[in-house]
């Protein structure tokens, strides 16, 4: 019991440490000034970029530059507003930002995501696979915690471990099977088509 509580507190500390960070993919490795490049992409989508505490490429152990860029915002709300602006752009345009369209000399797409730790990333990947298998409607992170929606208009459910995912999808599968059985015996007038 005590060990579980210590682990929970440690995970919370890790989330807080990255609460105002974002991970960026797509900026060319040879980008000279990452801050200017980030501002240029934000301007392209019509978003006034907030000031950044820092923006950098982590170095691999080999010393090579990483394709990943870490953006450290001053506040979590600045990061969240930025993520929301890019999310709205993707929803509106049905695509991520093409860097050539934003004025760069490459055809990469620009992606920005919440920074999460390794166990959370693995859990999110499993939830996304369940979404692809149509066992979930959506999977995402919010404040460093994985959330899922079983159906389009359902409430988001926080998922802290793989067992939570299994329980959610098992309950959903049972519920969907019950609905299919009921619908088979009583056809829905609105969904019945006349041939």
Question: For the segment 74-86, what is each residue's pLDDT rounded down to a tens digit?
Answer: 999 999 999 999 9
Rounded CA gap, 37 and 43, in Å? 10
Whether residue 21 sits in one domain with residue 107: yes
Tell me what the mean pLDDT of segment 23-40 comes to: 91
Number of folded domains that form the chain? 2
pLDDT value, residue 92? 95
Say if residue 159's pLDDT is above 90.
Answer: yes
Ramachandran angles phi, psi of 105, nearest 5° = -95, 50
176, pLDDT greater than 70: no
72 and 20 within one domain: yes
DSSP letter, residue 142: E
Predicted confidence (pLDDT) at residue 103 exceeds the cutoff of 90: yes
The whole domain housing 41 covers 10-114
**102 and 125 part of one domain:** no
Tell me whether residue 144 is in a domain.
Answer: yes
Q: Is residue 51 a part of any domain in this protein?
A: yes
């Amino acid at each position: 019991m005590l060990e579980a509580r210590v682990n929970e507190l440690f995970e919370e500390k890790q989330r807080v440490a990255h609460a105002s960070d974002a991970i960026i993919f797509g900026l060319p490795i040879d980008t000279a000034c990452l801050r200017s490049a980030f501002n240029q992409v934000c301007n392209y989508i019509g978003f006034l970029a907030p000031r950044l505490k820092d923006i950098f490429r982590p170095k691999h152990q080999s010393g090579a530059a990483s394709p990943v860029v870490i953006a450290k915002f001053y506040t979590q709300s600045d990061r969240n507003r930025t993520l929301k602006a890019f999310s709205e752009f993707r929803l509106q345009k049905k695509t991520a930002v093409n860097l050539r369209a934003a004025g760069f000399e490459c055809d990469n797409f620009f992606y920005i995501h919440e920074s999460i730790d390794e166990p959370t990333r693995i859990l999110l990947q499993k939830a996304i696979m369940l979404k692809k298998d149509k066992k979930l409607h959506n999977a995402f992170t919010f404040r460093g915690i994985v959330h899922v929606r079983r159906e389009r208009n359902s409430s988001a459910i926080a998922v802290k471990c793989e067992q939570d995912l299994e329980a959610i999808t098992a309950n959903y599968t049972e519920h969907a099977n019950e609905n299919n059985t009921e619908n088979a015996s009583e056809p829905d007038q609105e969904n019945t088509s006349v041939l």
